[in-house]
């Protein structure tokens, strides 16, 4: 049976997307069952070829989704709140049910700053117990929703409620579709609430409040450090400023499995991505100096 996995990214994150995809392939024995839905925008032909090369190594299926050709996405991207750290691509995962189509029952969504170290079939075999999604509780959930002094948005969120991180989600596509996420987002936008909350992750927590299956922390270990390697996390999620694609991370490791990550991305792509990031940094610097 096919295992459908969705990634959303733009051209600034093509190499980490490849690393996430390749990590799934390396640690999942049933590679011929893997179907990757690559939901992307602004990807150059060169970087698309880098991702296509995964099929030279593993017998996987790639399904490409061009977000800029999807009217619903471009409309949402133009109107919903975004920032430099959280560009409009974050809203793409809300459209997972529309992107994968009606013939797919389950999808594993992975942020492209994750690395998998265990067989994802174990997730696909889970009993969702009637829930639309399975996810991991976010250790920073109360602070994300309540902010400084734990007083922000108390009319929207109760810090006592469990809050999940949306970077790793096993999704029941039919129940996700029935939740009418886009319609709920539009209602919250008209009410001025989308402008106050933490982008799509808060929206998903509002939509599925009390209706999600809690997974073990192993399946979304956020910002783990080298000391956590002995705990054997299944999926590492690099959300902090110290990321394994930084050159210094592999020289003086400050995050878990930094060296493994570099070799998962492959050395060649790792250094190309480093040059890409340096070029972007200098171009931004020069624009600010004008």
**Does residue 289 register a pLDDT over 70?**
no
**Does residue 280 register a pLDDT over 80?**
no
Strand residues in the chain grouped as ranges (E) = 3-10, 34-41, 61-66, 106-110, 114-116, 133-137, 164-172, 212-214, 221-222, 235-237
Tens digits of residue pLDDT in 18-72: 999 999 999 999 999 999 999 999 999 999 999 999 999 999 999 999 999 999 9
| Domain count of the fold of the chain | 1
Tens digits of residue pLDDT in 219-253: 999 998 999 999 999 999 999 888 899 876 666 67
Tens digits of residue pLDDT in 122-154: 999 999 999 999 999 998 988 888 988 888 888
Residue 250 has what pLDDT? 63
Residue 1 has what pLDDT? 87
The whole-number average pLDDT for the span 98-105 is 94
Q: Mean of the per-residue pLDDT values for the chain?
A: 92
List the structure tokens of 2: 């096919």
Tens digits of residue pLDDT in 254-271: 899 999 999 999 999 999
The CATH number of residue 215's host domain is 3.90.550.10
- Please say whether the dihedral angle defined by the alpha carbons of residues 165, 212, 17 and 72, taken in this order, is positive or negative: negative
244: Cβ–Cβ under 8 A, 6 or more apart, which residues? 115, 238, 250, 255, 257, 258, 261, 262
For residue 149, what are the domain limits? 3-289
The C-alpha atoms of residue 123 and residue 111 are separated, in whole angstroms, by: 16
pTM: predicted TM-score of the whole model, two decimal places? 0.94
> Could you tell me which residue, 100 or 284, shows the higher pLDDT?
100
Measured CA to CA in angstroms, residue 105 lies from 8, 113, 253 at distances of 19, 25, 39
The whole-number average pLDDT for the span 80-96 is 88
Residue 253 has what pLDDT? 73
**Which band of pLDDT confidence, cut at 50, 70 and 90, is reported for residue 277?**
confident
Tens digits of residue pLDDT in 167-199: 999 999 999 999 999 999 999 999 999 999 888
């Amino acid at each position: 049976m096919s295992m459908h996995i969705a990634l959303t990214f733009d051209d600034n994150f093509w190499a980490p997307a490849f690393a996430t995809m390749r990590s799934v392939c390396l640690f999942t024995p049933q590679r011929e069952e893997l179907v990757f839905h690559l939901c992307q925008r602004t990807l150059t032909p060169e970087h698309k070829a880098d991702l296509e090369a995964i099929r030279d190594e593993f017998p996987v299926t790639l399904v490409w989704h061009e977000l800029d050709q999807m009217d619903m996405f471009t409309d949402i991207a133009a109107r919903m709140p975004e920032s430099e750290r959280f560009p409009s691509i974050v809203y793409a995962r809300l459209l997972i049910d529309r992107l994968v189509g009606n013939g797919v029952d389950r999808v594993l969504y992975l942020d492209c700053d994750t690395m998998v170290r265990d067989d994802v079939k174990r997730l696909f075999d889970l009993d969702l117990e009637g829930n639309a999604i399975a996810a991991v509780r976010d250790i920073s959930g109360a602070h994300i929703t309540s902010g400084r002094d734990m007083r922000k948005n108390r009319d929207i969120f109760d810090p006592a409620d469990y809050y999940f991180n949306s970077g790793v989600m096993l999704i029941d596509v039919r129940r996700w579709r029935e939740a009418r996420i886009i319609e709920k987002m539009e209602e919250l936008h008209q009410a001025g609430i989308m402008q106050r909350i933490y982008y799509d992750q808060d929206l998903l927590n509002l939509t599925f409040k009390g209706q999600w299956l809690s997974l073990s922390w192993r399946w979304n270990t956020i910002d783990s450090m080298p000391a956590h390697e002995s705990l054997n996390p299944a999926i590492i999620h690099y959300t902090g400023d110290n990321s394994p694609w930084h050159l210094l991370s592999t020289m003086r490791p400050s995050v878990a499995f930094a060296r493994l990550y570099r070799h998962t991305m492959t050395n060649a792509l790792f250094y190309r991505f480093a040059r890409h990031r340096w070029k972007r940094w200098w171009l931004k610097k020069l624009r600010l100096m004008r």
